[in-house]
Chain A
């Protein structure tokens, strides 16, 4: 893996191999990104589930209210 290094003082441009520290940091970045994407997907799924549950609860409450009215 390579990175382009541009020295602004000398205007020298080189393409060099990533250092071991940079490679390690890149792996950390990738793991963090995957964890963030998984967390975002989990949060979205939980939000959808909560919406569905709220809808179900509302329907159940409406049905219960209708049944109660019919019995009275």
Chain B
């Protein structure tokens, strides 16, 4: 091996690559969407929810594997007009609280690394917009070792008026 060659051991077998696993429009008047039978063949999952709006002010939340036990932890920072921060131990990940119904074009992005691992707890990080130019940034832990194969994104009240979702597997 020459002096300026990269040792092969440091180079992954493949680099990068996003595969679309699901995409669609959120049905109007639906309380959310439920992505099932997610492949475990990737390093990470990236979920985009774009241009959504709600029928009433509500929290948006994510559950994995239809689990609603109190084994989710999260922390958040809300910035914009004023700032606040907090932590939660809950039966869901709260992605943003009290998203205003009058605001259209809200977006959220959730990243779940190592989701298919079956020996460690799972974690996620996310950003979600809110009204009044606010941004909610959070991270969370799901204190369960099962591989994630299902993601359920819902509101706590009312329904969606619009929105789209895209789920990618990342290698």
Q: B115 to nearest A CB, angstroms?
A: 13
**Interface residue total, chain A, C-beta cutoff 8 A:** 23
- Whether A10 lies near B37 (C-beta < 8 A) is yes
Say yes or no: is B29 at the interface (Cβ < 8 Å to chain A): yes
Which among A4, A8, A13, A30 is the interface contact of B32 at CB below 8 angstroms? A4
Q: Which residues of B contact A50 (CB under 8 A)?
A: none
Closest residue of chain B to A36 (Cβ to Cβ) is B97
Total A-B pairs, Cβ < 8 A: 72
Q: Which residues of A contact B141 (CB under 8 A)?
A: none
Max chain B C-beta neighbours (<10 A), residue from A13, A29, A30: A29
Q: Which residues of A contact B156 (CB under 8 A)?
A: 26, 29-30, 32-33
Q: Which A residues from 1 to 16 make CB contacts under 8 A with B?
A: 1-11, 13, 15
Q: B87 to nearest A CB, angstroms?
A: 13
Say yes or no: is A37 at the interface (Cβ < 8 Å to chain B): yes
- Whether A7 lies near B37 (C-beta < 8 A) is yes
Which among B33, B38, B92 is the interface contact of A3 at CB below 8 angstroms? B33
Say yes or no: is A25 at the interface (Cβ < 8 Å to chain B): yes
Which among A2, A29, A36 is the interface contact of B92 at CB below 8 angstroms? A29
Closest residue of chain A to B58 (Cβ to Cβ) is A33
- Whether B34 lies near A37 (C-beta < 8 A) is no
**10 new A-B pairs (CB below 8 Å) besides A6-B165, A30-B157?**
A2-B27, A4-B34, A6-B33, A8-B36, A9-B36, A26-B154, A29-B92, A29-B156, A33-B59, A33-B156
Jot down 7 A-B pairs with beta carbons below 8 A, ordered by A. A3-B31, A4-B33, A5-B34, A8-B37, A29-B61, A29-B92, A37-B98
